[in-house]
């Protein structure tokens, strides 16, 4: 490559004497510059003073953006500019900047001042081209989310997420996706404790609403494990007993509740928050040792300070038989502690941070520390995780009692 060409390239990038604010370009070129992020417009005005660079900005916006915003090394940028001035094909220019070719079809609006490492694997590059953002307005959120998905899980998850309809407004992608990405990663990490808490593993064929609900279910089960260790709930409110041939057994710790949810194929494992805040208690209804229903005790809907049956469900959350209802009320009639005033303050039932760190350790090891997840497990950190996945559900139009 000649010294003259290199010299012109360097001048395009560094040596323009006139300030960018005083440079003028044809209206069409100014319109193109206006589509880039505000932080890139002044550098772009300098850059597109070269007609060949302006042509590249039109056909491969990512290349012009990378040079203008000084992404990569100075050597890479100088080489890229020299190749442009020499009329080299844009794929060679992209290679010099280490930009994957799948970026070529993204508009200028996709690049919003985020310095991110783009996925480059062959399988990702081949598949992502079929799932590009539907509009320029959604492209920046789409790009940041897809790149984060690959970083926080893997390329297969990123391609799957690229197809979802959740990019209509900007948001912090790590807050939206941290739980869903971790859940998807643990779905294939079969020898981990985090995987053991998953009811329905993620897979690329899964519908978005199913995946989001499964991730929320997984987060709730983690909360149950961290907050309701054996001995944390000492008061079952009502006494274990029998009525009409059925026994009523309190469920007070995470393992008892997980066993009940598994055997009954119900949502007892989603009650960690309500149990920890003394909003309810759960009982297993059994006949000769066999589980036949799950019962929830809570405050009476109209009589303050009185406990009542708030839910009674058979296997798979089906309605319980009439005889089970009759036995439940017969058992309730034996109780002497049906009066219980609501707690004046939320009980202090802290999360087990050491267990949280142990659960997440395989994921952090594989994902460079996974700084998007909290280091410690607290009510506040779990509230943030809950808020993120609830926002993701809202964006995707997911309607479920899990988010009420």
156 shares a domain with 16: no
Q: Which pair of tokens denotes residue 157?
A: 């998850």
pLDDT of residue 18: 42
| pLDDT classification of 12: cutoffs 50, 70, 90 | very low
276 shares a domain with 203: no
Residue 204 inside a domain? The answer is yes
| pLDDT classification of 194: cutoffs 50, 70, 90 | very high
Domain that holds residue 96: 3-110
| pLDDT classification of 114: cutoffs 50, 70, 90 | confident
The pLDDT mean for the chain works out to 93
Cα-based distances in Å from 353 to 187, 225, 295: 22, 11, 30
163 shares a domain with 86: no
356 shares a domain with 220: yes
Residue 332 clears pLDDT 70, i.e. is over it: yes
Query: Mean of the pLDDT values across residues 216-243?
Result: 97
Q: Supply angle C-alpha 272, 276, 281, rounded to 5.
A: 80
**Last residue of some domain: 285, 301, 333?**
333
Query: Mean of the pLDDT values across residues 124-138?
Result: 94
Q: For 341-391, how does the pLDDT look when each residue is reduced to its tens digit (9 = 90+)? A: 888 888 889 999 999 999 999 999 999 999 999 999 999 999 999 999 999
Domains held by the chain: number: 3
288 shares a domain with 260: yes
| pLDDT classification of 401: cutoffs 50, 70, 90 | very high
106 shares a domain with 25: yes
311 shares a domain with 276: yes
The DSSP call for residue 102 is G
pLDDT of residue 344: 81
pLDDT of residue 113: 76
- Between 27 and 204, name the one with better pLDDT: 204
Residue 1 clears pLDDT 80, i.e. is over it: no
Q: Is residue 12 within a helix (H) or strand (E), and if so which, with residue range? A: helix 3-13
- Cα 128 to Cα 267: distance, rounded to the nearest angstrom: 36
Contact 50, 12 (CB under 8 A): yes
394 shares a domain with 254: no
Within its chain, how far is the Cα of 140 from the centroid? 17
Q: For 307-324, how does the pLDDT look when each residue is reduced to its tens digit (9 = 90+)? A: 999 999 999 999 999 999
pLDDT of residue 2: 53
DSSP string, 341-381: PPPSS-------HHHHHHHHHHHHHHTTT-TTS-SS--HHH
Q: Which pair of tokens denotes residue 246?
A: 């059925």
Under DSSP, is residue 87 helix (H, G, I), strand (E, B) or coil?
A: coil
**Last residue of some domain: 333, 362, 379?**
333
Residue 21 clears pLDDT 80, i.e. is over it: no
**Last residue of some domain: 51, 75, 110?**
110
Contact 298, 279 (CB under 8 A): yes
Q: For 244-276, how does the pLDDT look when each residue is reduced to its tens digit (9 = 90+)? A: 999 999 999 999 999 999 999 999 999 999 999
307 shares a domain with 221: no
Contact 268, 257 (CB under 8 A): yes
Residue with tokens 């038989």: 321
pLDDT of residue 115: 81
Q: For 32-74, how does the pLDDT look when each residue is reduced to its tens digit (9 = 90+)? A: 999 999 999 999 999 998 999 999 999 999 999 999 999 999 9
Q: Give backbone dihedrals phi and psi of 269, rounded to 5 degrees, phi first.
A: -75, 0
- Cα 63 to Cα 192: distance, rounded to the nearest angstrom: 41
306 shares a domain with 279: yes
Residue 234 inside a domain? The answer is no
Q: Is residue 145 within a helix (H) or strand (E), and if so which, with residue range? A: helix 136-152
Q: How many Cβ atoms are within 10 Å of 12's Cβ, its own excluded?
A: 21
pLDDT of residue 3: 52
- Cα 154 to Cα 73: distance, rounded to the nearest angstrom: 27
Residue 236 inside a domain? The answer is no
Q: Is 223 exposed, middle or buried (0-12, 13-18, 19+ CB in 10 A)?
A: buried
**Sheet of 241-243, strands arranged across:** 241-243, 246-251, 281-287, 290-299, 307-313
Contact 294, 266 (CB under 8 A): yes
């Amino acid at each position: 490559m000649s010294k003259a060409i290199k010299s012109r390239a360097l001048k395009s990038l560094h040596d323009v004497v006139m300030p960018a604010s005083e440079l003028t370009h044809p209206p069409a070129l100014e319109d193109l510059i206006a589509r880039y992020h505000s932080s890139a417009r002044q550098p772009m005005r300098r850059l597109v003073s070269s007609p060949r660079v302006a042509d590249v900005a039109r056909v491969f916006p990512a290349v012009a953006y990378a040079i203008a915003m000084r992404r990569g090394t100075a050597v890479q940028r100088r080489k890229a500019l020299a190749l442009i001035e020499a009329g080299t094909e844009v794929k060679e220019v992209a290679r010099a900047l280490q930009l994957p070719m799948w970026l070529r079809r993204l508009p200028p609006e996709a690049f919003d001042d985020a310095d991110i490492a783009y996925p480059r694997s062959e399988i990702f590059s081949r598949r992502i081209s079929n799932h590009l953002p539907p509009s320029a307005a959604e492209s920046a959120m789409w790009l940041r989310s897809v790149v984060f998905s690959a970083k926080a899980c893997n390329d297969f998850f990123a391609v799957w997420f690229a197809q979802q309809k959740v990019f209509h407004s900007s948001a912090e992608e790590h807050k939206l996706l941290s739980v869903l990405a971790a859940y998807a990663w643990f779905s294939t990490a079969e020898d981990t404790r985090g995987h053991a808490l998953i009811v329905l593993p993620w897979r690329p064929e899964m519908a978005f609403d199913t995946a989001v609900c499964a991730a929320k279910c997984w987060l709730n089960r983690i909360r149950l494990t961290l907050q309701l260790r054996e001995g944390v709930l000492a008061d079952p409110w009502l006494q274990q007993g029998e009525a009409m041939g059925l026994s009523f057994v309190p469920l007070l710790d995470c393992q008892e509740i997980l066993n009940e949810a598994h055997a009954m194929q119900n949502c007892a494992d989603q009650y960690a928050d309500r149990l920890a805040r003394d909003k309810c208690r759960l009982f297993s209804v059994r006949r000769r040792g066999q589980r036949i229903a799950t019962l929830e005790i809570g405050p009476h809907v109209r009589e303050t300070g009185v406990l009542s049956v708030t839910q009674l469900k058979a296997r798979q959350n089906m309605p319980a038989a009439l005889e089970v209802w009759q036995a439940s009320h017969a058992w309730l009639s034996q109780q002497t502690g049906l009066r219980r005033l609501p707690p004046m303050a939320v009980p202090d039932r802290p999360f087990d941070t050491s267990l949280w760190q142990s659960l997440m350790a395989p994921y952090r090891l594989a994902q460079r520390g996974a700084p998007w997840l909290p280091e410690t497990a607290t009510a506040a950190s779990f509230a943030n995780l809950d808020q993120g996945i609830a926002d993701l559900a809202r964006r995707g139009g997911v309607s479920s009692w899990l988010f009420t």
